[in-house]
A = this chain, B = another copy of it.
Amino acid sequence: MTDLDRVLADLVIANRILAHEDVVDAYGHVSVRHPADPKRFFLARSLAPSMVGREDIMQFDLEGRPLEGDARQPYLERFIHAAVYEARPEVLAVVHAHAEAVLPFGISGAPLRPVIHSGSFMGEQVPVWDIRDKFGDTNLLVTSMPQGRDLALRLGTHNVSLMRGHGFVAAARSLIEVVRMSVYVPRNARVQMAALQLGAVKALSPGEIAARNAGYKPQSPETQRAWEYWATRAGCGELLKKA
């Protein structure tokens, strides 16, 4: 299996995990940067992530244009991915999703903050991007590079940005990390939501967030353990094999 084969197999796994863990439904998507060409990224054609296979993956440039004459229907919102890869050279994987538990934090004044250790990877602050600020009344979808770039600007150097009335975007240094964030950010949101009903909430400290981030390695046994677990649950454990 070549490096590229491994990356594409992992992208299929990521699609299936996000579907099985209820981060995406028919909508939402995950992409990965081309390992050999930072000006390209991989993203499925317009298809529910639970149904994505290797053959459904397309290549795009950093303007969101399909490559190699691929005429299949792409996701309307591929510009989210393109713009984040363009703005953030260190980012290797991106998720856009509408996980229900994070949505309340995008439409109220309450900031989403890491309050549990597994939520630490969202970072100290999670900005909220409102497409209406710059583009007025739209259908809320990010369907052009200017919209994608405006979102990437709001994301800045953060790992996650909420999108008002719509969902979130998450960016990370690996597919495993972006999937992990996408699974645990909603859990953190549910816990924060409940804790706010109970009283003052003790969030993770900046030092704790930094300590967790410093120690993170995509290839650590702890990280791989979760990837293997989620893939197995999602019914695609066989794709883990390094054939």
Contact = CB atoms under 8 A, between A and B. Distances in A.
A26 interface: yes
Number of copies: 4
A211 interface: yes
A165 B222 contact: no
Interface string A173-204: 00000000000000100110111111111111
Given A46-B225, A103-B191, A164-B202, A117 B139 contact: yes
Name the residue in A50, A76, A190, A197 with the highest tally of chain B Cβ atoms < 10 Å from its Cβ.
Answer: A197
Contact of A137 (B117, B137, B139, B207): B207
B198 A196 contact: yes
Contact of A225 (B26, B116, B138, B210): B26
Contact of A76 (B138, B194, B208, B222): B222
A221 B108 contact: no
Contacts of A26: 225-226, 228-230
A120 B211 CA distance: 37
Contacts of A76: 222
B193 A228 contact: no
B211 A116 contact: no
A51 interface: yes
A107 interface: yes
8 contacts: A46-B225, A98-B116, A107-B191, A117-B166, A139-B211, A139-B215, A140-B208, A165-B202
